[in-house]
C-alpha cells in the first residue's frame, strides 16, 4: 500500500498496452480542491497498468465529471492506494476533512 499527502486527487484512465486490453489508471495529486476548474498541474502523478476497476472506501466528497470521465476527490488529508496485483483492483481510502 502506498500513502500520499494531498488536498485532492483526480482519478482518470488512459488506454493500456493494446486496444483490447485493460486500461491504465492515472492518479493525479494536487495541493488544492477542484484542480480541474483551475487547470492546475499535479504535484505528483502515479500510474497503474492493467487495472480492472477502482474501489472507493470511506471517502465522502467524491465527484464524477461526465465531460472528462474523471473522479475528483476533494478535502483529503491523506490518501491510501492499495493495488492488488492478483485481482488488478485498486482500492482507494484515506482521511478527509469535511
CA 53 to chain centre: 11
Locate the domains of the chain by residue range: 2-96
Residue 67: what pLDDT?
Answer: 83
* Positive or negative torsion for Cα 88, 80, 24, 74: positive
Q: Write down the pTM of the prediction.
A: 0.91
The tens digit of pLDDT for each residue in 46-72 reads: 999 999 999 999 999 999 988 888 999
Residue 16: DSSP 8-state: -
pLDDT along the chain (98 residues), means of 10: 96 88 96 89 96 96 89 97 98 96
The residue behind cell 492499495 is 82
Judge whether 49 and 16 are in contact, CB under 8 Å. yes
Q: Kind of pairing, strands 76-84 and 89-96?
A: antiparallel
Amino acid at each position: 500500500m502506498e500513502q500520499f499527502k494531498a488536498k485532492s486527487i483526480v482519478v482518470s484512465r488512459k488506454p493500456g498496452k493494446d486496444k483490447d486490453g485493460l486500461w491504465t489508471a492515472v492518479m493525479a495529486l494536487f495541493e488544492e480542491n477542484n484542480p480541474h476548474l483551475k487547470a492546475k498541474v499535479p504535484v505528483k502523478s502515479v500510474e497503474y497498468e492493467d487495472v480492472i476497476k477502482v474501489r472507493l472506501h470511506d471517502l465522502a466528497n467524491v465527484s464524477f465529471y461526465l465531460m472528462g470521465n474523471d473522479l475528483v476527490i476533494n478535502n483529503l488529508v491523506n490518501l491510501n492506494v492499495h493495488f492488488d496485483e492478483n485481482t488488478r483492483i485498486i482500492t482507494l481510502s484515506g482521511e478527509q476533512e469535511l
